[in-house]
Amino acid sequence: MTKKLYASIDIGTNTIRLLILKNPLKKDEKIIVNLVRTARLGKNIQSTGKIPQESIETAKKIFLEYKEIIDVNKVKNLYSAATEGVRKAKNKEEILSIFEDIFLIKPEVITGEREADLLKTANFEFIKIYGQFLLFDVGGGSTEFILESTKQSRFVSIPVGILRIFEKYFKSQLSLDENEYRTISDKLIEELKFIIDEFTFEEIPLIGTGGTATTLSCIYKGLKKYNHYKVHHSHIPLEEIEIIFDTVNALDLESRKRLIGMDPDRADILLPGILIIKAIMETLNENKLIISDKGILFGLIYDKIQDLKKKKEH
């Protein structure tokens, strides 16, 4: 059987990711390429309303790198989505046009609700395992919540993201003292109280996805090299997340980058991501986090395949 390859590109607020899958949604599904590059498209977007020019140039280089990889692998099926950072930018057409010039397709600029829907599609396997779950994805500009339970199915997107927290509270510093930590944590918990009001559910597995969640798993497991199959479905206790926070908070930037399991490009912004995850867990009184390494990259491919299948059936 000839290999069937599909590619997806996620243009996020902080990173740009590429996934190439062989035989998706089949028993022999295999990851061929899984790359992440940092562009920081959402840097200072709250104050300027625009994607910085240097970030656009970085994104163009990443797109050209990804185009070469896609061509080498002879992938014909490519899907792409741009999220919060691009969606809210006044100059989004500039980066969308660059992408279109290189790949000959225009990315789908998705809403938070569409992003949540793709995440649900990507992580449907957890329904088979747990029967129900609350999944969240902490991104650079927003956080999505997907509830799939015996009582209800809901999607919610809120404008709480890593770059936003970093720029709002950390300013030019990388570490927090006890008072700063408590102030930010309290404000995040206050913002997240809506979870209790919005969602009606019994005790339910909590699943986290996105770069912060997967980086936490890598550090906890001491992975010297990223491995999707060791990260996906891994578990990490809240107390270990707190230890990682304290460890990273005590290190300077260069020492953080050398920490086993750390993505060096995420070393300066890992703490705000952890603060958001801790606030979610504390709000829900949850002591264990299950990690998913299937973000919207998988959702884009799975969604398209399922859509094509439905069309063939009709």
pLDDT digits (tens, 9 = 90+) for 198-235: 765 567 899 999 999 999 999 999 999 999 999 999 99
> Do 154 and 288 sit in the same domain of this protein?
yes
Place of tokens 């990690």: 291
> Do 171 and 69 sit in the same domain of this protein?
no
What's the mean pLDDT in 9-19?
96
163 found inside a domain: yes
Share of the chain above pLDDT 70, in %: 97
pLDDT above 90: residue 311: no
Distance separating alpha carbons of residues 216 and 241, to the nearest angstrom = 7
> Do 168 and 260 sit in the same domain of this protein?
yes
Residues 2-17, buried b or exposed e (16+ Cβ, 10 A)?
eeebbbbbbbbbbbbb
The pLDDT value given to residue 2: 43
Is residue 117 within 8 Å of 198, Cβ to Cβ? no
Out of 4-8, 102-106, 139-143, 292-296, pick the least confident: 139-143
Question: Could you tell me the pLDDT band of residue 308, with boundaries at 50, 70 and 90?
Answer: confident
Residue-wise pLDDT for 267-291, tens only, equals 999 999 999 999 999 988 899 999 9
pLDDT above 50: residue 257: yes
Residue 16 structural domain:
5-110
268 found inside a domain: yes
Residue-wise pLDDT for 22-48, tens only, equals 999 999 999 999 999 999 999 888 889
pLDDT above 60: residue 187: yes
> Do 81 and 140 sit in the same domain of this protein?
no
309 found inside a domain: no
Distance separating alpha carbons of residues 243 and 196, to the nearest angstrom = 26
What CATH code is carried by the domain that includes residue 72? Answer: 3.30.420.40
DSSP conformation class of 26: S
33 found inside a domain: yes
> Do 283 and 200 sit in the same domain of this protein?
yes
pLDDT above 80: residue 297: yes
The pLDDT value given to residue 202: 64
Residue-wise pLDDT for 123-173, tens only, equals 999 988 998 899 999 998 889 999 887 777 888 888 899 999 999 999 889
The residue among 50, 84, 110 that closes a domain is 110
> Do 224 and 135 sit in the same domain of this protein?
yes
Distance separating alpha carbons of residues 241 and 270, to the nearest angstrom = 12
179 found inside a domain: yes
> Do 265 and 174 sit in the same domain of this protein?
yes
Is residue 276 within 8 Å of 216, Cβ to Cβ? no
Task: Extract the tokens encoding 70.
Answer: 């896609």
> Do 267 and 157 sit in the same domain of this protein?
yes
The residue among 57, 81, 110 that closes a domain is 110
The C-alpha angle with vertex 146 and arms to 246 and 6, in degrees rounded to 5, equals 95
Residues 122-154, buried b or exposed e (16+ Cβ, 10 A)?
bbeebeeeeebbbbbbbbbbbbbbbbbbeeeeb
118 found inside a domain: no
Distance separating alpha carbons of residues 91 and 88, to the nearest angstrom = 9
> Do 254 and 135 sit in the same domain of this protein?
yes
Task: Extract the tokens encoding 190.
Answer: 């206050």
The residue among 86, 110, 134 that closes a domain is 110
67 found inside a domain: yes
Average pLDDT of every residue of the chain: 92
Tally of domains in the chain: 2
What CATH code is carried by the domain that includes residue 177? Answer: 3.30.420.150
> Do 240 and 134 sit in the same domain of this protein?
yes
What's the mean pLDDT in 109-130?
91
> Do 153 and 229 sit in the same domain of this protein?
yes
The pLDDT value given to residue 309: 81
> Do 283 and 138 sit in the same domain of this protein?
yes
Distance separating alpha carbons of residues 174 and 272, to the nearest angstrom = 10
Amino acid symbol at 33: V
Q: Which of the given ranges, 167-181, 232-246, 300-314, has the highest pLDDT on average?
A: 232-246
274 found inside a domain: yes
